[in-house]
Amino acid sequence: MNHNTPLSHTPHSPRPLRHLSHVQRRVLTTAQLRAHGVSAAETNEQCRPGGPWQQFLPGVYLLHPGPPTTEERLHAVLMFAARSPVQSAPAIPVQPGAEAPHAPQPYADALITGLAALTLHGFTSAPPLLSLDKIDVLVPRMRRLRSTGSARIVRTPSLPTPTYITGVPVAPVPRALADAVAELSDANAVRRLLTEAVRGGHCEPAAVVRELTQAKLLSLPHVVDAVDSLLAEGRSIAEDRLYRMVQEFGLPDPVWNVDLRLPGGPHLGGLDAYWPEQAVAVELDTRAPRQDEDALWSEYARKREHLERLGITVVYITPKKLRDTMEQQATVVRTALMASNDRDPAAYVVVLPR
């Protein structure tokens, strides 16, 4: 019997169950079976040793004897973890031979996270789903669930908004990364995942560091090393985007990566781009949200205030804005350059390579 063999009446079956052969997936909960008119006794009979069904997780059944498909594993884990009102909804029937739709499935309070989620997001450095012994599923902290079988329960004070991939609710990349890193001790594996998150354009470094901080993972040396590499990678990508913005939108060439000093006076700070004639500066805001975020922001604010007292306009741009709204950021810089004609001349400063 294979996965596509219709269920039919057998000598051991208390009643014909042929009507279940056309459900969307051949994995159902106890409540869904009951909604289809299948009693607990009938379910137990079908799951006898050598029978046509099997119990895959508590309250979740595969309607075939072989190993589950990847899709079945994902949905079985979600069915196990989701709150019962959604579990009780009947499966959607489809016509024989028709492809099951990938519409979002309404699993209440349950998301796929960790390595499985990263694989669904398209990470090449995450393992194939079939090779994972456990699938992490994110649930609210107050849920009374325990990890069992292939379902590993991960708790959170509040569930993030899911992304739906082939109908499966999946945690956002930063949260999925944090949950994956929590289970990894291999420094190279952690570094590969974090690097792909940034290089692949899945998310910005600051979002990753925020999740790792909340998960209290930045006390682990192999995670700290990977984060340092991540931040360096993120800054390099942001600098490349800044160069491209100046070129693609026809801004005048600035001087790049400079330090400013008052003549014979103190150091004023480093800048990513500076237009001396217009006294306009751009600085990439690549702060990572760690415990000292407030102190670091105060340093940014003091620097900006000092420069603006000297008549220098400072434009702060985040890597995310550069990635998502480059044209808008170019307009902001162009406006600052044009407005320089209406301002009093800036104080003279010494511009040095950084």
Question: 223-258 pLDDT, tens per residue?
Answer: 998 988 888 888 888 999 999 999 999 999 999 999
Written as one letter, the residue type at 135 is I
CA 340 to CA 344: how far, in whole Å?
8
Could you tell me the pLDDT band of residue 289, with boundaries at 50, 70 and 90? low
**Model pLDDT, residue 174:** 96
**Model pLDDT, residue 20:** 56
Instruction: Look at residue 122 and tell me whether its pLDDT is greater than 60.
Output: yes
The predicted-structure confidence for 59-79, as pLDDT tens digits, reads as follows 999 999 989 999 999 999 999
Could you tell me the pLDDT band of residue 219, with boundaries at 50, 70 and 90? confident
**Model pLDDT, residue 75:** 93
Instruction: Look at residue 92 and tell me whether its pLDDT is greater than 80.
Output: no
**Model pLDDT, residue 102:** 54
**Model pLDDT, residue 93:** 42
Instruction: Look at residue 177 and tell me whether its pLDDT is greater than 50.
Output: yes
CA 43 to CA 349: how far, in whole Å?
81
Written as one letter, the residue type at 287 is R
Beta-carbon count within 10 A of 52 CB: 20
* pLDDT average, residue stretch 173-193: 95
CA 109 to CA 78: how far, in whole Å?
9
CA 72 to CA 3: how far, in whole Å?
11
Spell out where 77-131 has E strands: 111-113
Class in CATH terms, 249-353: alpha beta
Q: Among candidates 44, 38, 135, which has minimal Cα distance to 90?
A: 38
CA 147 to CA 135: how far, in whole Å?
10
Do the strands 111-113 and 60-62 form a parallel or antiparallel pair, or are they unpaired?
unpaired
- Residue 341 is classified by DSSP as G
Answer whether 126's CB lies under 8 Å from 53's CB.
no
Phi-psi label, residue 37: left if phi above 0, alpha if psi -120 to 50, beta otherwise: left
Beta-carbon count within 10 A of 316 CB: 14
**Model pLDDT, residue 17:** 56
Could you tell me which residues come within 8 angstroms of residue 72 by beta carbon, excluding any fewer than 6 positions away? 25, 26, 27, 56, 62
**Model pLDDT, residue 10:** 39
Written as one letter, the residue type at 232 is A
The residue that leads in pLDDT, 233 or 321, is 321
Instruction: Look at residue 155 and tell me whether its pLDDT is greater than 80.
Output: yes
CA–centroid distance for 264 within its chain: 49
**Model pLDDT, residue 303:** 84
Residue boundaries of the structural domains of the chain: 1-101, 109-248, 249-353
Spell out where the chain has E strands: 27-29, 54-57, 60-62, 111-113, 135-140, 151-156, 163-165, 168-170, 255-261, 267-275, 280-284, 313-317, 350-353
* pLDDT average, residue stretch 3-27: 49
The predicted-structure confidence for 47-57, as pLDDT tens digits, reads as follows 999 899 999 99
